[in-house]
Structure 1
């Protein structure tokens, strides 16, 4: 859903109220994408910054990785620069209230800010770069539509360390609608996704992956792919300690 939240400057009153009501109403919130200051200006880099706290091990970090990955598929010339922080130093946004409630929350903001325009009467419509804003909108549509339109999140796989060093066995129920799965074995100190291990649906459900490093600690997750290869939400990451 699209929500315009009021009174952010007065302490994120609108987002705090929304989060409380969402819990009371039992809304299933996959993630909160906060677009705040995305109009751009002539001459700034053609990219966006994405802020996510505790990038290596948090729900916000997981959705940030998904956002960067899917955005790169659809708008490779308009990259997402992921930053390991809740927000800019000394600043905050409405995503904070979602994160404080234990929900994935990220902030997307233009590539460069002009401090003289922040919360200023000089920040006028004629300064907006509409080509830049169009790309931000396309990015939003691409990621949101992929996340919402993909298959449901698979069950978290049962992961066993195999006898052969660097081999792992994964078992999970196969979705009859899935064309395949993408499996991620992310080294825990790496912020972005590694190369995925792709498994066709007919081979899925009980697979053994080899050639990994048994001494590396991995954060393991997976997503179901529909017939068009569209990835839905990833499972929560499971930590497999290295030896």
Structure 2
């Protein structure tokens, strides 16, 4: 299913996107050394509930997972990169933490992810990997405009990641979003320009470049959800929800306060 939002629905999408971005920034500030991933999940639940929104994750049960996810946010640490299930792990100085959050507010969903280093340590390789995903995300957004093809966005993302020296996994990527979290079209993190679905105003997309330091292979934890690098190397993941407009692309998951 591919949805094209009306102007009224787009206004609600802006509210959902701002909520996601604000929660992520609040959680980033609170994700200090010694904090448990379960604390982060609890804080996310409180902020989502207080805003009158619904989690996209609690009842999420796709074919690749093991039953309903049962938590309010994905928390991926170091070698974990996608669908990180919160558990009783306390953050340490230098951990690379990815927070991935999707909520539905008044019938419209928004999805975003941020990666950052916990504490005072600044491992240069980890910072470079985070920077590469952020630059790839910016390149994908810059390529998004009416008449462009999905392949144009994938090519823009993949060019940045490939030039930075990272192998690109094609199993999981970006996606359409709207009244539900995951919709068509798929936006792979690499591709050929000029191919795929033609973008139209009112289309919402969640673009999410992610990489692993020295591999493109994933392994799944015993929890049935958390995806890690097969080599145990560190990972990074950046994501925004955007709306295709008459003029280009509007980032919806921007914090209301900077």
Structure index of larger Rg:
1
Indicate whether the TM-score tops 0.5.
no
Compare relative contact order (CA 8 Å, sep 6+) and give the higher one, 1 or 2: 2
> What TM-score range do you get, normalising by the shorter chain?
0.3 to 0.5
TM-score for both structures, normalised by structure 1 = 0.37
